[in-house]
Amino acid sequence: MDYIDLRSDTITKPTPEMREAMAKAEVGDDVYGEDPTVNRLQELAAEMTGKEAGLFVASGTMGNLAGILAHCGRGDEVILGNKAHTFLFEAGGISALGGVHSCQLPNQPDGSLALEDVEAAIRPDDPHDPVTRLICLENTHNRCGGVYQTPEYTRRVAEFAHARGLAVHLDGARVFNAAAAQGIDVKELTAPVDSVTFCLSKGLCAPVGSVLCGSKEFIKKAHRLRKMLGGGMRQAGILAAAGIVALETMTVRLAEDHARARKLADGLKQVPGLVLQAGSPATNMVFVSLDASVPHSVEFVRTRLEERGVLLGVTGARQFRLVLHYWIDDAGVEQAVAAFREAVR
């Protein structure tokens, strides 16, 4: 069966143009810095995000880990949201592998951190306390519903942090979605922060990889950390070639996924028993719950949807996540709504 796969935008396969670029990619040993295609991708990523340098890494998780470890030493503290992907879903790598202590503040429903909370969380210079070094933001914010953060908020946090001697790292796995949703250049969201990781392998459809961007000095440190984490790849230009196509051709079409997410949400709103999360969808994710009138469990509904050719994620006791991407068309959206009608009955 050909599934309508709405589990994530990570399931996207490369486009034909990417496969062609991969086949033709010029390569070299990237651990020696000699892969021309990786170098081109890193330069393009740095230029697009308004940073001095970029580093191609295996995943978003590796980008965030190498980035946070480049900012913080063992025992230092990072302030992040209690719904941050780095806190919830990166296997605790920053503490397990980096010895970095985390301070989790409540994410506001719009995905932001309240600056009063951040102010109160900054440690005094006291031998009892870890040293606060870094604030981590996420844009778009996955667990807060795929919501985006604005340039104003990003600048406010960066100014606040810098005035207190702290750095800011952005988990920008889907920062191009955040820019597309606001109709702005991604630089407005990345230039104010000290470092950013963004993913090539989500809505941008590349098969593998993310890029960590920051100052030259920061990327030099992160480069050593990437080696330490086992992420030094060799003829990685084959992968980077798809990443270049992703940046050149896919960042400009993300608004289409957002429009389809709205279409899907409009359809699901009409299905008795379903309730959309307030404000959903802000970008390419739709969060929808079963109300009390539905006598079934989420697992039961998920199985019935699967039998009807629709795959999606379960994100709570009564909640699903549906993620739109390049490989879902209008017919897929209609099929998903029709399948829901039958599945919740």
Q: Which of residues 50-79 bind ligand TLP (CB under 6 A)?
A: 59-61
Which CB sits closer to ligand TLP, 10 or 108?
10
Contact status: 204 vs ligand TLP (CB under 6 A): no
- Tell me how far, at minimum, the Cβ of 60 lies from ligand TLP, in Å: 3
Which alpha helices (DSSP H) does 97-215 contain, by range? 115-121, 151-163, 175-182, 187-190
- Tokens 């960066």, residue located: 158
Which CB sits closer to ligand TLP, 61 or 190?
61
- Kindly tell me which residue out of 158, 199, 245, 265 binds ligand TLP, with binding defined by CB under 6 A: 199
Which CB sits closer to ligand TLP, 210 or 283?
210
- Tell me how far, at minimum, the Cβ of 10 lies from ligand TLP, in Å: 5
Q: Decide: 71 and 173 in contact? Cβ < 8 Å.
A: no
Query: Total residues contacting ligand TLP (rule CB under 6 A)?
Result: 14
Which CB sits closer to ligand TLP, 273 or 281?
281
Burial status of residue 344 (CB atoms within 10 A of its CB: 0-12, 13-18, 19 or more)? buried
- Tell me how far, at minimum, the Cβ of 26 lies from ligand TLP, in Å: 25
Give the rounded distance of the alpha carbon of 93 from its chain centre.
17
Instruction: Return all residues near 283 (Cβ < 8 A) that are at least 6 apart.
Output: 140, 146, 147, 148, 174, 177, 178, 180, 181, 254, 257, 258, 261
Q: Which of residues 127-186 bind ligand TLP (CB under 6 A)?
A: 138, 142, 171, 173
Q: Which of residues 206-235 bind ligand TLP (CB under 6 A)?
A: 210
Q: Which of residues 251-280 bind ligand TLP (CB under 6 A)?
A: none
Q: Which residue is nearest to ligand TLP (CB)?
A: 60
Q: Which of residues 76-115 bind ligand TLP (CB under 6 A)?
A: 85, 89
Burial status of residue 332 (CB atoms within 10 A of its CB: 0-12, 13-18, 19 or more)? buried
Q: Give the C-alpha distances (Å, rounded to integers) separating 200 from 30, 57, 241, 251.
A: 18, 10, 11, 10
Q: Contact residues for ligand TLP (CB under 6 A)?
A: 8, 10, 59-61, 85, 89, 138, 142, 171, 173, 199, 201, 210
